Amino acid sequence: MSSLDEFAKAKLENLDVQHLRRTLVETVREDGVWVTRGTRRYLSFSCNDYLNLTHHPKVKAAAIAAIERYGAGAGASRLVTGNHPLLEDLERRLARLKGTEAACVFGSGYLANAGIVPALIGAEDILLIDALSHACLFAGAQLSQAKTVIFRHNDMAHLRELLREHRARYRRALILTDGVFSMDGDLAPLARLSALAAEHDASLMSDDAHGLGVLGEGRGSAYASGEKPNIDLQMGTLSKALGSYGGYLCASQAVVDLVKTRARTLIYSTGLPPANAAAALAALDLIETDAALCARPLANARSFTRAANLPLAESPIVPILLGDPVLALEAQSVLEREGFLAIAIRPPTVPAGTARLRLAFTAGHPEDEIARMAKIVREKILPLAA
């Protein structure tokens, strides 16, 4: 065995002991909500396909037609020969939806964050990032080489304190946050973040991967309540409610122009395939014309949290905290035996001591099944957590 194999084996054994090893399980999605694993069929609550658009006939037809007409792949980076007209269309549509001058589409949400932050912020600058922000915002922060300070989750007093302590020593400042937190389902206080940013001459970037299509009549978490806060960089993904794949940034024309010439994950990575762009465009048509569809995932999450006696859901994501990874895995098995798929989320995806089930509600989850799951959670899972 090579020394590299020995290293890998020791590392894996260590993860096994802590119940933190992850493995891939072959799973076939039959439609927006039902999946099969081996011979068993489950109702899945572990998919971010909030509007079940991955399987919508119009979305699939758009992707198939794009492949027939334009081929399967983009062929090269967008700056070389991969800038498909569908990408231009998609950018115009996203900018319009988010109320910005321009937009830039990336290969994925992860690539977007890993490209945007270092293109705009450097070693003389400071980043202030919410502690529970998505891993790819932290990746972007690391790649930027800027001074990075972490503020306690949604704690505006802490953020203000850090801005007062550090801001003056740096050229530019950028505040990074999720709009909807991916593992907790709560919302960032975007209006207060934007006011703090203005007070301290900082910019604000929000990752709204889980807001698009499901909050603010589909326009995202920035539109969820009252007046729209000023967010310089509105980032998100085409891979969740839109049912496709790819990431995007909506911002001013100047910022988007700079990102298009400087973001390394755009320049050195192949453009999004035409089928993904076409699917996202078809999904946007549905989202912009069907506010009732966009409202359903949150309504389903709320009927679940009411029935299970949990705090009222703020988004379609509902966490059930178990604490210990062994308990979270046990809770997962309880639901699996009842025909529900809800994958345990363990560190390092969430902080140590906060292993949980993360339920993602979608438009297509049947009401009676939601009620049945709530009863099981109340009777068999919440007692595990106590």
Ligand X SMILES: *Cc1c(COP(=O)(O)O)cnc(C)c1O
DSSP lists the bridge partners of residue 318 as 359
Can you say how many angstroms the Cα of residue 291 is from the centroid of all Cα atoms in its chain? 21
> What is the DSSP pairing of strand 203-207 with strand 173-178?
parallel
Report the residue from 82, 109, 216, 297 that binds ligand X according to the rule CB under 6 A: 109
- Residues 238, 315, 137, 18, CA torsion sign: negative
Angle between helices 109-120 and 135-144 (to 10 degrees): 30
Looking at this protein, which amino acid is placed at residue 81?
Answer: T
Q: How many angstroms separate the Cα of 173 from the Cα of each of 158, 165, 292, 307?
A: 16, 13, 39, 44
Name the segment binding ligand X (CB under 6 A); options: 16-24, 35-43, 205-213, 263-271.
205-213
How far apart, in whole angstroms, are the C-alpha atoms of residue 377 and residue 126?
43
Smallest gap from residue 307 Cβ to ligand X (A): 26
How far apart, in whole angstroms, are the C-alpha atoms of residue 366 and residue 340?
12
Q: Name the catalytic one among 108, 182, 206, 269.
A: 182
Smallest gap from residue 236 Cβ to ligand X (A): 8
Q: Say whether 210 is catalytic.
A: yes
Residue 207 or 314 having the CB closest to ligand X = 207
Q: Say whether 240 is catalytic.
A: yes
Under the criterion CB under 6 A, does residue 354 sit at the interface with ligand X?
no
By CB under 6 A, the count of residues binding ligand X is: 13
Phi, psi dihedral angles at 254 (to 5 degrees):
-65, -45
Smallest gap from residue 371 Cβ to ligand X (A): 27
Residue 73 or 339 having the CB closest to ligand X = 73
Smallest gap from residue 179 Cβ to ligand X (A): 8
Residue number, nearest CB to ligand X: 109
Q: Hey, what's the torsion of the CAs at 205, 207, 213, 217, to 10 degrees?
A: -40
Under the criterion CB under 6 A, does residue 315 sit at the interface with ligand X?
no
Q: Say whether 375 is catalytic.
A: no
Smallest gap from residue 100 Cβ to ligand X (A): 18
What does DSSP assign to residue 238? S
What does DSSP assign to residue 273? P
Under the criterion CB under 6 A, does residue 207 sit at the interface with ligand X?
yes
- Among positions 219-238, residues that touch ligand X (CB under 6 A) are 237
Give the x/- contact pattern for ligand X in 178-197, rule: CB under 6 A: x---x---------------
Residues that bind ligand X (CB under 6 A): 108-110, 134, 136, 178, 182, 207, 209-210, 237, 239, 247
Tell me the catalytic residues. 182, 210, 240
